[in-house]
Amino acid sequence: MNELIEVVDWSRAQFALTAMYHWLFVPLTLGLSVIVAIMETIYYRTGNERWKGLTKFWMSLFGINFACGVATGLILEFEFGTNWSNYSWFVGDIFGAPLAIEGIVAFFMEATFVAVMFFGWNKVSKGFHLASTWLTALGVSLSALWILVANAWMQYPVGMEFDPAQMRNVMTDFFAVALSPVAINKFFHAVFSGWTLAGIFVIGVSSWLLWRKRNISAAKSSLKIGAWVGLAGMLLTLFTGHGSAVEVSRVQPMKLAAMEGLYQGSVGADLIGVAVLKSNPEQTPDDPMLFSIDIPKGLSYLIYADGEHFVPGINDLIAGRSITAEGDTVYGLSYADKMALGRKARTALADYSKALEANDSNAIIAAEKEIKENFPYFGYGYLEKPEDAVPPVATTFYAFHIMVAVGGLLFAVLLLMLFASYCKTNVLEKSWLHIIGIFSIVLVWICSQAGWIVAEVGRQPWVIQDLMPTNAAISSIQSDSVQFTFWLFAVIFTALLIAEVSIMLRYISNASKTDIEKTR
């Protein structure tokens, strides 16, 4: 059992490492592809060569980043097989489809048109080149769509049923998978956050140029576009983020409770603005914070548009307790009940196998009925105690609040930058503004990473919500082997990140000494 736990932990670490590195590069690709396409569109419409120069400048940065995203993405796809072998069989019938569609629809589009983007300036017409740039941006977003559909399905498994004969889940409704509200929210939230990140990146680099008083005209034009794209992205990220939180409350209430550090639910639950968790908050569930600044009834209002609505806490969910609109305390299934039902489903599945071997049709029908009734709790059958279904609260809580706080800060930065870029006074020449712009680059990446930590740590212990815990999803490999590959990838990804950052910095520095707006 210890070996199993070690394999699970190292496999999780390896997947988390790959996903986090991947998400360092991908949001920039998502957003910068749009910004580059906008700049080229201006060039196409105005015929002004300075916009071609600007397009090429940002396109080069896009290219440097793109390669790292591609590299880490490859590992991510194959790790589902190499490290999560059981998962690949148990839900491969559903999960594999979006990955294949991603490849067929999106990856080839990216691969084909990105080559035209970089090498086609003198080989194809202006219109064809512009179309290729937009198609690359579209391909990047389509790629995000399908992988996020796959991810959303893990958090909200729909459109499928369990096939006991094959001991796996099979898809029954493709559109339920592809168009689930969780998937739609997740897709737009992730893609628009990429716009925000790229907008801030462009603002940051432009701020540096302004600070060094180089390529002032290029920097001002870029900053304006970065601010517009960033602000549009931020507003839409806020909107879809709210939608995501509402979906989480519906399909993953335990995650929401962890995000808010809410152990004891209440009618008219407060929304935490700033807080510090106690070291063992579960021991004082009524008062888990060292200190906090709350918005009274804010959580109930935000999630349910009703300041008096009951929001369940971690302990309520474990106990199956809730409070009705009339104020009555009612009990549904507790986690202990769900564990019993999950075990019942497992026993029924074993019975089904035996009945199948014995060709006992009555027993098959009885077992099938039992499995169907209890399958929604199948994953709980793997848990040893109800508390195993609680995600790491502190990590989820802090990641969520860091994301929200930094996001708020960046919203203000974007407004400020947009104001400055239109202001007739010389605000854009102020050093403090440049420093804010440059420093925002670090902040936006922290915000972006924190978002994914909330999504992925907050759903633990489930690899498929309620149906399969992480420790049942793994491959049969020695923990030493996974440990070795973890360190191998940690070294190589870090080395590549260092190289990418170094190349970008050098490129920006060298380009700043030339006329960026002059077409090369």
Is the distance from CB of 76 to CB of 22 less than 8 angstroms? yes
Question: Does the protein bind another protein through residue 336 (CB under 8 A)?
Answer: no
| Residue 135 vs 454, nearer CB to another protein | 135
| DSSP string of 278-314, one letter each residue | -SSGGGSTTS-EEEEEEETTHHHHHHHS-TT-EE--H
Of the candidate residues 44, 107, 239, 304, the single one contacting another protein (CB under 8 A) = 107
Question: Does the protein bind another protein through residue 83 (CB under 8 A)?
Answer: yes
The encoded tokens of residue 290 equal 């060292």
| Residue 277 vs 340, nearer CB to another protein | 340
Q: Which of residues 3-32 bind another protein (CB under 8 A)?
A: 4
Question: Does the protein bind another protein through residue 376 (CB under 8 A)?
Answer: no
Q: Report the half-sphere exposure of 275 (CA within 13 A, side-chain side).
A: 27
Least separation in angstroms between CB 267 and another protein: 38
Bridge partners, 18 (sequence order): none
Question: Does the protein bind another protein through residue 115 (CB under 8 A)?
Answer: yes
What are phi and psi for residue 119, nearest 5 degrees? -115, 0
Instruction: Tell me which stretch binds another protein (CB under 8 A): 194-202, 318-326, 342-350, 400-408.
Output: 342-350
**Size of site (CB under 8 A) for another protein:** 97
| DSSP string of 186-252, one letter each residue | HHHHHHHHHHHHHHHHHHHHHHHHHHTT-SHHHHHHHHHHHHHHHHHHHHHHHHHHHHHHHHHHHH-
The encoded tokens of residue 12 equal 């999780």
Question: Does the protein bind another protein through residue 78 (CB under 8 A)?
Answer: yes
> Cis ω on the peptide bond leading into residue 288 (within 30° of 0)?
no
Least separation in angstroms between CB 187 and another protein: 18
Instruction: Tell me which stretch binds another protein (CB under 8 A): 32-40, 69-77, 360-368, 414-422.
Output: 69-77
Question: Does the protein bind another protein through residue 494 (CB under 8 A)?
Answer: no
How far, rounded to the nearest angstrom, does the alpha carbon of residue 119 sit from its chain's CA centroid?
A: 32
| Residue 245 vs 474, nearer CB to another protein | 474
Least separation in angstroms between CB 89 and another protein: 4
Q: Which of residues 421-480 bind another protein (CB under 8 A)?
A: 471-472, 474-478
* Alpha-carbon distances of 458 from 7, 363, 400, 448, 462, rounded to whole Å: 21, 40, 9, 15, 9
Binding pattern to another protein, positions 381-420, x when CB under 8 A?
Answer: xx--------------------------------------
Binding pattern to another protein, positions 220-239, x when CB under 8 A?
Answer: --------------------
Q: Cβ-count burial of 426 within 10 angstroms (0-12 exposed, 13-18 middle, 19+ buried)?
A: exposed
Q: Which of residues 278-317 bind another protein (CB under 8 A)?
A: none
Question: Does the protein bind another protein through residue 93 (CB under 8 A)?
Answer: yes
Angle at 346 between CA 343 and CA 349, to 5 degrees: 150
Q: Which of residues 165-194 bind another protein (CB under 8 A)?
A: 166-168, 170-172, 174
Q: Report the half-sphere exposure of 427 (CA within 13 A, side-chain side).
A: 14
Whole-number Å distance between alpha carbons of 377 and 313: 20
Considering only CA atoms, which of 218, 143, 156 is closest in space to residue 182?
A: 156
| Residue 55 vs 315, nearer CB to another protein | 55
Question: Does the protein bind another protein through residue 88 (CB under 8 A)?
Answer: yes
Of the candidate residues 48, 361, 481, 514, the single one contacting another protein (CB under 8 A) = 481
